[in-house]
């Protein structure tokens, strides 16, 4: 709980016809029920329906951080009634002979179960208009002094993501909150795939906005970052095709209103996939930096990734599921079962540059949470290193690259946990959102039974890496070359090592039933299929910023006192 600091206002106001001591400091709004106040009746409302019905009258002290106040609403004039969202009518006050405003409502963030946020409200009634005016203007002044809050947002809606509810979700749940908070918006409903990316790259007048909001899933978010990152590099004369180039961070924050099928970026940065919660994080101007991987092939830029780069199992699931888009989110489960039964493995070489000098390992019990110290520490360390950059920092000449050859069911690089409703702890539970690294997970060829054990552990407390055929490395860069793309000298080495004279006879040997196991899989890059299999990946620490704060640890206090959390 924040310390209140110097009080700006302290008054006796009424909430639901009960006297409260209400105080405002720069950081907190507090209302505390007076122990006994039968004499305090500057007026007696004939009726006053509480505008704050969800919280029982616990008689304790309520505090709201000023940074989590959404807005202040001046209540209507004498004798007026107003219909609430739930259809009931409320009367603010009714007092003979007076014609003045004396009630104001504070809208604020209330925490509910499972990281959800709701917009709660409390109405205060003042004994006189001058005091009322002071309260309304003081709270508004405090809100205006929070410079991190966005005032103008550019919103892109994918009407076809997830269950095709994007437009409806935005109009019903998000737009009314933005309006209440005084946030202006320019809304664009996309007309085709890559519409938002191309609009951001070339046309959007970014100077007019404080942030970009994406209504859709991970694929739509990917469009937004591609447009924004590309535009930022071109505006700053940085060549995005060069894999060794340090990229410029965009000044705009990105907000995600989840309306897709997996929504893992939203889930892993907020803790839940709930449009109202995300809208509130945007309104209060939260900020969460995030790592971005650039993916190149032969020194040509392919794509950026923030969540999963997956070859083998997740690449095949995605390829198969694209043909089933009409099914909506269920396509992934069906393709998942199919690809599990197909049980393809792929050969290739993975080289990686281990993350050195940084804090944290992929097997840590501690997770990346709101205000993560690991991300802060590693972020500072890597930006210092970038300042003193010498070419040997990331290059092959430092001799730290390690190489692994083998047959893999899956090669996954998780730049963050990839937590999502299917797997609430994610592909790499201890991965960090903004530490400048990605967790490279190698699942070697094993039996179906063992692979199922590994997959099942994504949904339980058991460690999915604690298996002999699974290894995980925290890396800054990695490369992958499928076996049949290997250079002649590598192939010769292979032949000598394995004594195999006929390379292609190997393809079907382990699949006598079908006789046609493919030699290549595809890379699943945040839900998009890459056009190349040989790739070079580099992590760019904290390249983008989201309107989010990471997953909050629930406090005991919140759990016990918040009726909405029970």
Ligand X SMILES: Nc1ncnc2c1ncn2[C@@H]1O[C@H](COP(=O)(O)OP(=O)(O)OP(=O)(O)O)[C@@H](O)[C@H]1O
Ligand Y SMILES: CCCCCCCCCCCCC/C=C/[C@@H](O)[C@H](CO)NC(=O)CCCCCCCCCCCCCCC
* 318 near ligand Y, judged by CB under 6 A: yes
Q: Which of 190, 233, 305, 415: binder of ligand X (CB under 6 A)?
A: 190
Contacts with 402 (C-beta within 8 Å, 6 or more apart), sequence order: 351, 352, 353, 354, 473
Nearer CB in complex with ligand Y: 435/528: 528
For residues 311 and 332, which CB has a smaller minimum distance to ligand Y in the complex?
332
Window contacting ligand X (CB under 6 A); options: 44-52, 131-139, 159-167, 178-186: 159-167
CB neighbours of residue 380 within 10 Å? 11
Closest separation in Å from C-beta 196 to Ca ion: 25
Q: 407 with 346: CB under 8 angstroms?
A: yes
Q: In the stretch 418-437, what mask flags binding to ligand Y with x, by CB under 6 A?
A: x-x-xx---x----------
Q: Check binding of 426 to ligand X (CB under 6 A).
A: no
What gap in Å lies between CA 40 and CA 343, rounded to an integer? 75
**Binding ligand Y by CB under 6 A: which of 300, 459, 487, 555?**
459
List 218, 286, 439, 536, catalytic entry:
218
Q: Exactly one of 110, 121, 210, 223 binds ligand X (CB under 6 A); which one? A: 223
Instruction: Identify the sign of the CA torsion 175, 181, 187, 189.
Output: negative
CB 440 within 8 A of CB 537: no
DSSP state of 327: G
Give me the torsion for CA of 305, 309, 315, 318, rounded to 10°.
-40
Report the distance separating Cα 238 and Cα 242, nearest Å.
9
Span near ligand X by CB under 6 A; candidates 50-58, 61-69, 154-162, 498-506: 154-162
Identify the CA nearest to 545 among candidates 282, 366, 301: 282
418-447 positions binding Ca ion, by CB under 5 A: 432, 435
| Residue of 262, 272, 273, 522 interacting with ligand Y (CB under 6 A) | 262
Nearest approach, Cβ of 456 to ligand Y (angstroms)?
5
Query: Does 216 engage in binding with ligand X (CB under 6 A)?
Result: yes
Out of ligand X, ligand Y, Ca ion, none, what residue 291 binds, judged by CB under 5 to 8 A for its kind, is Ca ion
The residue range among 69-77, 200-208, 377-385, 454-462 that interacts with ligand Y, by the rule CB under 6 A, is: 454-462
Interface of this chain with ligand Y, residues 500 to 539, rule: CB under 6 A: 524, 526-527
Q: Which of 122, 126, 220, 264 binds ligand Y (CB under 6 A)?
A: 264
Query: Considering CB distances under 5 to 8 angstroms, the limit depending on partner class, which of Ca ion, ligand X, ligand Y, none binds residue 415?
Result: Ca ion
**Count, residues near ligand X per rule CB under 6 A:** 22
Instruction: Report the DSSP beta bridge partners of residue 119.
Output: 109
* 119 is a contact residue toward ligand X (CB under 6 A): no
Task: Please report, for residues 62, 156, 254, 269, 276, the alpha-carbon distance to residue 545 in angstroms, rounded to integers and kept in the order given.
Answer: 32, 17, 6, 11, 20
Residue 360 binding: pick among ligand X, Ca ion, ligand Y, none (C-beta 5-8 Å cut-off by kind)? none
Distance CA 311, CA 317 (A): 10
Query: Does 158 interact with ligand X (rule: CB under 6 A)?
Result: yes
> In the range 259-318, which residues lie near ligand X by CB under 6 A?
260-263
* CA–CA distance, 451 with 467 (Å, rounded to integer): 10
- The token duo for 506 is 């190997």
Distance CA(330)–CA(336), nearest Å, equals 10
Q: Which does 8 bind (CB under 5 to 8 A by kind): Ca ion, ligand X, ligand Y, none?
A: none
Residue 163 engages ligand Y in binding (rule: CB under 6 A): no
Q: Clarify whether 86 is annotated catalytic.
A: no
Comparing CB distances to Ca ion, the nearer of 71 and 438 is 438
In the complex, least distance from residue 92 CB atom to ligand X, rounded to whole angstroms: 42
Residue of 135, 314, 523, 547 that binds ligand Y (CB under 6 A): 314
| Stretch of residues binding ligand Y (CB under 6 A), selected from 22-30, 109-117, 205-213, 453-461 | 453-461
Task: Please give the distance of CA 56 from its chain centroid, rounded to a whole number.
Answer: 33
Q: What residues numbered 389-418 form the site for Ca ion, per CB under 5 A?
A: 415
Rounded Cα distance, 281 and 148, in Å: 12
Distance CA 75, CA 81 (A): 10
Distance CA 331, CA 329 (A): 5
Comparing CA positions, the residue from 150, 372, 171 lying closest to residue 257 is 171
Q: Characterize the bridge pairing of strands 470-482 and 523-525.
A: unpaired
Q: State the minimum distance, in angstroms, from the CB of residue 423 to Ca ion.
A: 17
**3-class state of residue 290 by DSSP:** strand
b/e per residue, 248-262, with b = 16+ CB within 10 A? bbbebbbbbbbbbbb
How far is the C-alpha of 24 from the C-alpha of 16, rounded, in Å? 19
Instruction: Say whether 404 sits in a helix, a strand or coil.
Output: strand
Residues 6+ apart with CB under 8 A from 80: 91, 92
HEC profile of 420-456: ECCECCCCCCCCCCCCCCEEEEEEECCCHHHHHHHHH
Which one, 66 or 433, has the nearer CB to Ca ion?
433
61 versus 529: smaller Cβ distance to ligand Y: 529
Tokens of 315: 């690449």
Q: How many residues bind ligand Y (CB under 6 A)?
A: 27
**Distance, C-alpha 495 to centroid of its chain:** 46
The reply on whether position 455 binds ligand Y by CB under 6 A is yes
Smaller CB distance to ligand X: residue 190 or 533?
190
Between 282 and 321, how does the x/- string for binding to Ca ion read (CB under 5 A)? ---------x------------------------------
Distance CA 414, CA 425 (A): 12
> For ligand Y, which stretch binds (CB under 6 A), given 80-88, 99-107, 375-383, 417-425?
417-425
Tell whether residue 14 is a contact of Ca ion (CB under 5 A): no
Enumerate binding residues for Ca ion (CB under 5 A): 291, 415, 432, 435
Active-site positions read: 218
Enumerate binding residues for ligand X (CB under 6 A): 158-162, 190-195, 216-220, 223, 260-263, 527
Enumerate binding residues for ligand Y (CB under 6 A): 217-218, 262, 264, 307-308, 314, 317-318, 332-333, 336-337, 340, 418, 420, 422-423, 427, 452, 455-456, 458-459, 524, 526-527
């Amino acid at each position: 709980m924040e310390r209140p600091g110097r009080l700006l206002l302290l008054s006796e106001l009424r909430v639901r016809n009960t006297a409260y001591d209400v105080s405002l400091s720069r950081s907190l709004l507090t209302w505390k029920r007076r122990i006994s106040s039968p004499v305090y009746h500057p007026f007696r409302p004939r009726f006053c329906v509480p505008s704050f019905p969800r919280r029982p009258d616990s008689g304790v002290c309520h505090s709201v951080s000023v940074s989590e106040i959404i807005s202040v609403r001046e209540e209507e004039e004498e004798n007026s009634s107003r219909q609430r969202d739930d259809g009931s009518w409320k009367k603010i006050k009714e007092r003979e002979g007076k014609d003045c405003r004396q009630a104001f409502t504070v809208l604020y963030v209330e925490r509910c179960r499972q990281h959800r946020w709701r917009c709660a409200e409390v109405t205060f009634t003042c004994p006189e208009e001058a005091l009322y005016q002071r309260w309304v203007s003081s709270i508004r002044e405090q809100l205006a002094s929070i410079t991190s809050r966005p005032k103008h947002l550019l919103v892109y809606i994918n009407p076809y993501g997830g269950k095709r509810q994007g437009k409806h979700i935005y109009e019903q749940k998000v737009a009314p909150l933005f309006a209440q908070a005084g946030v202006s918006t320019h809304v664009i409903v996309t007309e085709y795939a890559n519409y938002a990316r191309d609009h951001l790259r070339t046309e959007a007048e970014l100077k007019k906005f404080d942030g970009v909001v994406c209504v859709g899933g991970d694929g739509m978010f990917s469009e937004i970052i591609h447009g924004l990152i590309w535009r930022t590099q071109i505006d700053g004369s940085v060549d995005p095709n060069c894999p060794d180039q340090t990229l410029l961070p965009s000044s705009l924050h990105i907000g995600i209103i989840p309306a897709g099928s997996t929504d893992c970026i939203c889930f892993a940065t907020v803790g839940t996939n709930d449009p109202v919660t995300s809208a509130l994080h945007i309104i209060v101007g939260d900020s969460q930096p995030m790592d971005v991987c650039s993916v190149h092939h032969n020194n040509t830029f392919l794509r950026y990734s923030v969540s999963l780069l997956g070859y083998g199992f997740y690449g095949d699931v995605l390829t198969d599921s694209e043909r089933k888009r009409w099914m909506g989110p269920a396509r992934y489960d069906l393709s998942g079962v199919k690809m599990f039964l197909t049980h393809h493995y792929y050969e290739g070489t993975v080289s990686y540059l281990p993350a050195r000098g940084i804090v944290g390992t992929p097997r840590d019990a501690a997770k990346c949470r709101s205000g993560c110290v690991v991300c802060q520490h590693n972020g500072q360390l890597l930006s210092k290193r970038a300042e003193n950059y010498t070419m040997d920092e990331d290059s092959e000449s430092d001799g730290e690259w390690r190489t692994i050859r083998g047959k893999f069911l899956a090669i996954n690089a998780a730049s963050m946990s990839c937590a999502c409703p299917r797997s609430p702890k994610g592909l790499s539970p201890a991965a960090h959102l903004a530490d400048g690294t990605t967790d490279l997970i190698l699942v070697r060829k094993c039996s179906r039974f063992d692979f199922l054990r590994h997959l099942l552990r994504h949904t339980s407390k058991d460690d999915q890496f604690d298996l002999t055929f699974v290894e995980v490395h925290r890396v800054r860069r990695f490369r992958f070359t499928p076996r049949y793309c290997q250079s002649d000298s590598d192939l010769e080495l292979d032949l000598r090592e394995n004594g195999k004279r006929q390379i292609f006879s190997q393809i079907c040997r382990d699949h006598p039933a079908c006789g046609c196991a493919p030699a290549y899989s595809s890379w699943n890059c945040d839900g998009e299929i890459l056009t190349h299999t040989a790739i070079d990946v580099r992590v760019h620490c904290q390249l983008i910023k989201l309107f989010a704060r990471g997953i909050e640890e629930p406090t005991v206090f919140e759990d016990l006192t918040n009726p909405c959390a029970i």
